[in-house]
Every structure is written in structure tokens, then in C-alpha cells.
A and B are shown apart, each in its own frame.
Chain A
Amino acid sequence: MADLLFLIPLLPLAAFCINILLGRSLIGGNAHWVAVPAVFGSWILSLLVLLDINDTEHALSQRLFTWIPSGDFNVTASLYADQLTAIMLMVVSTVGLLVHVYSVGYMHGDPGFYRFFSYLPLFVFSMLMLVLADNLLVLFVFWEAVGLCSYLLIGYYFRRRSAGNAARKAFIVNRVGDLGFGLGIMLAFWTFGTISFYGDAGIFEQAYNHEALGIAGGTMTLMGILLFIGASGKSAQFPLHVWLPDAMEGPTPVSALIHAATMVTAGIYMVARSYTIFISSETAMLFVTVIGAFTALMAATIALTQNDIKRIVAYSTLSQLGYMAFAIGTGAWVAAIFHLMTHAFFKGLLFLGCGSVIHGMHEEQDIQKMGGLRKYMPLTFWTFLIGSLANAGIFPLAGFWSKDEILLGAWISDYSFGPFASIVGFAAAFLTALYMFRLVFLVFFGKERFDTSRLHPHESGYWMAVPLVVLAVASVVVGFVGFPPEDGWFHHFVHHAFEHVEEHHVTMTQTVTFGVLSTIVALGGIFVAYLTYHKGTISAEAMAARFPAVYQFLYNKWYFDELYGKIFVQPLQRFSDFLWKIVDIGVIDAAVNGVATGISATSQRLRQVQTGLVANYALAIALGMVLIVGVYLAGFSNLFR
């Protein structure tokens, strides 16, 4: 099985190559027949890998080739799959496959069909390689590759100016995070002398034994913080979260795959992979927890006020990523991965449902112009409802199990700041339920707020419906792989990847208490949403009018974009203008043109020597002769000796 590891990323890569090279000429509208089977093949292989690892409890590895043989610094391209990787492979390939199938229907008739179906498998390839990488450099390469694919896909509708801007914003903010990541990699190499993950001389073992090896605790802290800065660029944690809502400019399947299930989880994956570095430093863990918890709460507050259907779900993603982050920060590693998996399914479902709604409403995205859609799109309604319930964490859907574990895990964490994070998590859970069901009630219930004579919403086709159903089923049942809490198959499986951390042991009392508490909180949120947006007992407008400043603050996303614009973007713009006008045009161009003008002017003057008169030329000869005689006299004669 290990020998076939390379096929898992290779199949989508081949699909990309075929589609991008032959797409315009040969394949055109049939590009999905290349891409979907390729990803399906990856899915099958990932499943086999999972089963294999489950049986043998050994990791699989395959060495591909030596990439950089430079003396002591030897980088090989190898694939390594342990339990954590296997779970990630399943998540990526499953959601990837379903999104591919969905896109066949969603992108039908789009002129860039083949382009979409070349970028999408390219992304799947990059993500698969990222999770299969066994050293920091290869991981970083594919980290960048997924960023590139994100850029390509966000800017897919490249003729729209806003799409281009959003793609650039995503890439640039990512790069800021990558600066931290890069510095962290260099620090790791400098400290440990290697960039390889595994083995006794690998980074993680050395990090775990850092005290015995004489590595200072401060170094580990710094390393952890730098790595997490990289992760927060990719996983959209505060303060690098600003790109994710704008990334909704891309087609909805892209949002589902990249910005819900896979790319944004790459950061979480990377931190989970490097857990030994983080557990060596309590400060780093605190850093992660604070940022994660803050992001979770902040995103939830913003989501309350947004009106674009995709943006609400995007902020929900931000919030859930914050959950995963503070789960990691408080030491609930397995819970974070569990939530990563369940979130991939129900968030993917929610995004695909959004796509279905947008498609049915003929590209309308403002929820204030929707309403009562459950009559027109029943399938979408029911799947969306399941997804929302899972997101809110209602028993017995998938989200309940994972979120509950995070809250409990944070509470019982070894770190002192754990319980605070847990409380923040509860607050965010309330808000999560509130805004999700605001969305549900405003879109699917109530009276239609659009012109029914003009607009006839319709249900989606089969290509789009089947993935919705599959994901809905998954959102219901996948939670049970982690049942009973902290003791299920999932925990035992994944814990092998976190060997140096003790398993959490929870009592039944704690479990039940937290379960009940989280359900109450979630139901409370749903109830408030019901009252406000369905019954109308509480008036949202009145609330907004009572606290106008708060409302504006939340509506404008805590003014982050404006802040960054003032601090970074505008000065940079002015500096670029300066460099352009004064340095490039004024100095460099002027110098070059000045040389040309100078030469031209000089040659014009010199030209006047050519009078055409033979007498002048004779004079020139005589002059030359006098000069030569003079030189001879001065240099070679007795005159000056």
C-alpha cells in the first residue's frame, strides 16, 4: 500500500495537466469527465490507506526522489501517512470529490468550464501533497501551492474587478502569514539542524526532548508563535482573517472546498502536526488559545449583522476555525481534529446549499431579498437545515459531538487559561446558533421578499442535489465515529499521532453536563432567532436602532479593512507612487533618456566639424601632425631629460 501513496496526489495532478493543456482545444465542456474520475481514484486510494493504517497501526511512507542534495542539507520529497494524515486524506478527498460532482451542475455552461476543472484538481493535488509531506520545506511548497490555487479560484471570474481584488487580498494576507511561517521554518532548521518531521532525529522528537538537548524554552516559544502566525494566515485567524469573507467572490463550490473544508484547515493541520513544538511552550499555547478564542467570538458577532448569504457562512467558518485553534491551544488535540472533520462536512454542506439557493434565485445573494424558499426548494431546505443544526451543535448531529468535546476539553485542560476559553466558546456557540437560524428563518421561512412574478426559484439538478444529500447524511452520522466521547474509534485512531500527549479522560458526569449545557445554549440561540426573525416578537431593527454604534461596528466587520487600509495599504500605495513617479520616471528614465539626449546633443555639435571643405580637412591633418610631433618631443626626445 505504501508504494501506491504517490498515486493519491498524482491522479488529480494528471487531471490538471490534461485539462489545462487540452482543455481549450479538445476537451472543453467534457473536462469533468477527466477531473471527477481522477479525484474519485484518489478517494478510493485514501480509503484504502485509511483501512490499511487502521489494521496495521503503522504509518506508511514512500520516498519519491531527492530534491535538494546540497551537502549537509539534504531534502527529499517523500510521502508519509500516519493516522492524522489518513484522516486528512479522507476529508480532503471526500469533500473534494463531492464538490467536483456538485460543480458539474453548478458551473454548467460557464465558458471557463475546463479552466475550473483544471484548477480544482490542482488544488486537490496541492492539498493532498501538503498533508502527505514529511518535511517542512515540502510542506511549505504546497502551502504556497494551495495559496496559489486559492488565488486562481477566487479570481476565477477574473473580469470582475472585485474578484481580482479579493484574490489579491487573499494572496497577500496569506503571504504575510507565510513570512512568519518561513521564519519559523528557518528557526526550526537552525535549532534542530534538520527539517524532516519524523524519525528520532526529526524535528518533533527533538522538540519533545528540547530540554535534554539544551534548547532554550524561549526558542520553542518563538518557534511556536512564528508557526502559528503562518497558520493564522492560512486559517484566517485574527488579525489575518480579513481575506476570508472577500474570498466569497469565487464560485460557491470553491468556497465550499477551499474555504470551508480544506485549505483553511491546513493551518490547523500544520499546528497539530507540530504539536511537540507547541507543548514545549506554555506561552505559545496561550498565544494560540487567545487568538483562537478571540477569533471565534469576533467572527460570530460580525455574522449577526451580515446580509450576504455566503458571507454569513464565511464568518461562521471563521468562528469554527477559531474553535479549532483554541482547542489546539488548550491541548485538546484530538478534539480539534475531530471538529475539523465534522466541520468539513457540515460547512461544505452549508456552502453547497448556499450555492443551490443562489443558483435557484438566479444569482441573488442578499438574504433580505429572499424568504419562503422552502416551498420552492425543499431538498435544499432540508439539507441546509441539517447543516445548520450540525453547525449549531444540536444533539445528535455531528457538530454536537465535536464542539462539545472542544468545550469540555478546554475546560479540563492542563493549562490555566483553558476554562476561560471554554466560556468564550459557549458564548460563541450561542451566537452561532443565533446567526445560523437567523439565516435559515430569513431565507427559507416567512413571506417572499422578492417579486414572485418575475423570479421563480427552482430546485437544483441531480449533479448538485446528490452531493447535498450525501453531505447531509454525513453530517448526521459522522459524529458517531467519535462516540462515546473521548473514547470512540476516532480518538483511539488519531491519538497515535499525538503520542506524547496524554489522552483526556473524562467522566460520564462531565460529559453529560457539558452536553446538556451546550444543547441548552444552542437551543437558546435558536429560540431567540425564532422570536426575532420568524415570530417578530423581538425586532431586529429596534435593537439596531437602540445601539447604533454597536450595530455599525459589527456591520462593518469591526472596521478591520479600514484600519488595515489606513495603516498598510495607503502608505504602501503612496510609497509605490513615489517610487514610480520620482524614482522610476524621474531618476532612472531621466538618466537613461538623459544619456541618450546627451549623446545626441554631443553628436550634433561634433557633426559641425564635418564642414565638407577640403581645406578644413587639411588643417585637421596639420593639427594632428603638430600634436604627434609634440607628443614625440615630450616623451621620447632629449627635451625634458
Chain B
Amino acid sequence: MSWDVVFFYLIAAVSLITALGVVAARNPVHSGIFLILCFVNIAGIFVMLGAEFLAVIQIIVYTGAILVLVLFVIMLVDPEDLPSFHTAEPLQRYLSFLLGAVLLLEIGAAIVTRTGIVGTGTATPENVAAVGGNTQALGRIIYSKYLLAFEVTSLVLTVGVIGAVVLALPERLGERLNTRRGTISLSHSRGTDEALPEGPRGETPIRVDRNRPAPPAAAAQRTIILTKDPDAHTRVGQTSDRTRQG
């Protein structure tokens, strides 16, 4: 039994346990931490497979940037809004376990009966070492053979950035619309608007409710009021249950 195998089993075991932790944790923060650990282990796997560059990139980008972002958002979203663990219907749960088991069997069968691709490529460890290592080999290929994919990926990232910025933007300053029915305020997640009288359809201003059931359909017909002054039409916290400054 060579050390490779031992290390592999070790790292694999840890990554599986942490993955289970991601899925099973109640607290999303715990989920995030588990995921970070899992990714670190996966980076270890990459190293065993001779993809050192990828391993490091995984840790820097994935764990260092993306998962941190996820953790930030978890904190921004009210942690007390945690819904219960499993989905409402038991059928969903059982069926997904069943599917998971079946898929495992199928993939297992596929793996076992596969006709392997015996090393036919040119990137043997010797060649790679001759070029100067994994990073150098990757660099050679990216900027020659896979240049187009590289450029397209950068485009994807740009679009992603733009999308994320737009989604997170506060409302723009602009004019107000005529009708004043129920409104939403984008800048104050917990605020409600000025005490509007009940709308013609008997609507009340929106509250943020902890254990609120699914919002009724009429809520979707609200119009947006765009105002200059975010505070002019909001009365923060007064009609909500919490006395918190918005």
C-alpha cells in the first residue's frame, strides 16, 4: 500500500464528510465553513492529480473570494429567517434520496465498465516538467490553443459583474409616479412607507413579518414610487414589530 493511496483515502474521507456537512447543517454559516473545508480538500486532490496551478487557483478564487462572498450574503440576509431544514413534501425528500442512490449505482456501473483512455497525450509528467511545470504548460496552451475560450470567459465574467452590480443597486433618483397604492422601498429593507391610507382595494402597507406566510398575489401588483428623498415617504420601524432604525 503506497502512501499515495493512504493520502487519497484520507483526503477523500475528509472531503466527503465536509460535503455532508454542507448539506446537513442547519445554520447556513456552518454550511459555508464546511464548504470551505471541502474545497481545501479538493485542492489537495488536485495536487495529487498533478494540477498544482488549479489547486492554488481553487483556494484563492473559490474559497478565498466566492465563499467569502457567500458568507457575506448569508450575514446580510437575516439569519433569523432560517426556514426549516427539509422541503415541505416528504415525497421530495424520499425521491431525491432514491435518485441519489440510483445515480450512484449508474455512475458506478459506468466507471467500472469503462474503456479507459490510456495515456495518449503529450503532456506526460516528464514533458510538463521539461517545460517548467504545470503552470507553464497551462500557460502555453491557454494563450495559443484555447485563446478564444479565454476571451469568452472574460466576457462572461464582465457580464456577471454588471449583472451583480445592477441587482444590488439602490433605486435611482427620479420622479414619482401618480398612483399611490401600496409601495415597496428598495433602500430600506425593513422600512415601510409613510402611513398611506388603505388603498382602494383595502391594501395595507407592507410589513416585514417574521413568520409571514406566502405573500398574497395582490402584493405583486404594487407600483413603484421613485422619489428623490428616500426618507420622505418611509417611516422606518414605526409600524413594524421591531423598533430598529432603518
Which A residues contact B (CB, under 8 angstroms)?
613, 615-616, 619, 622-623, 625-626, 629-630, 633, 637-639
Contact = CB atoms under 8 A, between A and B. Distances in A.
B75 interface: no
A615 B87 CA distance: 8
B103 A616 contact: no
Contact of B92 (A615, A629, A633): A615
Nearest to A641: B113
Nearest to B88: A613
B245 interface: no
Nearest to A630: B106
B107 A629 contact: yes
5 contacts: A616-B89, A626-B102, A629-B110, A630-B106, A637-B113
B109 A639 contact: yes
A425 B97 CA distance: 104
B99 interface: yes
A622 B103 CA distance: 9
Given A626-B99, A626-B103, A630-B102, 6 more contacts: A613-B89, A619-B92, A619-B96, A638-B113, A638-B115, A639-B110
Contacts of B88: 613
Contacts of B103: 622, 625-626, 629
Contact of A626 (B92, B106, B109, B113): B106
A329 B92 CA distance: 94
Nearest to A629: B106
B114 A638 contact: yes
Contacts of B1: none
A638 to B, nearest CB: 4
A619 B95 contact: yes
Interface string B199-222: 000000000000000000000000
Nearest to A616: B92
A613 B89 CA distance: 10
A622 B99 contact: yes
A478 to B, nearest CB: 97
Contacts of B92: 615-616, 619
Contacts of B95: 619, 623
Helix, strand, loop or mixed for chain A's interface?
helix
Interface residues of B, number: 16
Contacts of B102: 626, 630
B80 to A, nearest CB: 22
Contacts of B114: 637-638
A157 to B, nearest CB: 67
Contacts of A633: 106, 109-110
A623 B99 contact: yes
A633 B113 CA distance: 10
Nearest to B113: A638
B113 A639 contact: yes
B110 A637 contact: yes
A629 B103 CA distance: 8
Contacts of A638: 113-115
A357 to B, nearest CB: 85
Contacts of B115: 638
Interface in B82-130: 87-89, 92, 95-96, 99, 102-103, 106-107, 109-110, 113-115
A613 B87 CA distance: 10
Contacts of B99: 619, 622-623, 626
Nearest to A622: B99
A113 B77 CA distance: 93
Contacts of A629: 103, 106-107, 110
A630 B110 CA distance: 10
Contacts of B106: 626, 629-630, 633
Complex A-B, nearest 5 residue pairs according to Cβ-Cβ distance, in ascending order: A638-B113, A629-B106, A639-B113, A615-B87, A626-B103
Given A629-B103, A638-B115, A622 B96 contact: yes
B200 to A, nearest CB: 29
Contacts of A622: 96, 99, 103
Contacts of B109: 633, 639
A346 B9 CA distance: 125
A73 B111 CA distance: 78
Contacts of A637: 110, 113-114
Contacts of A623: 95, 99
A626 B88 CA distance: 23
A165 B102 CA distance: 76
Nearest to A632: B110
A227 B114 CA distance: 87
Contacts of B107: 629
B109 to A, nearest CB: 6
A619 B109 CA distance: 22
B186 to A, nearest CB: 24
B17 to A, nearest CB: 23
Contacts of A616: 89, 92
A625 B109 CA distance: 16
A605 to B, nearest CB: 16
Nearest to B87: A615
Contacts of A619: 92, 95-96, 99
A347 B113 CA distance: 105
B220 to A, nearest CB: 14
Contacts of B113: 637-639
A638 B95 CA distance: 28
Contacts of A639: 109-110, 113
A217 to B, nearest CB: 87
A638 B109 CA distance: 9
A625 B106 CA distance: 11
Contacts of B89: 613, 616
A582 to B, nearest CB: 46
B100 to A, nearest CB: 9
B171 to A, nearest CB: 27
Contacts of B87: 613, 615
Contacts of A626: 99, 102-103, 106
A615 to B, nearest CB: 5
A619 B102 CA distance: 14
Interface in B19-38: none
A616 B92 CA distance: 7
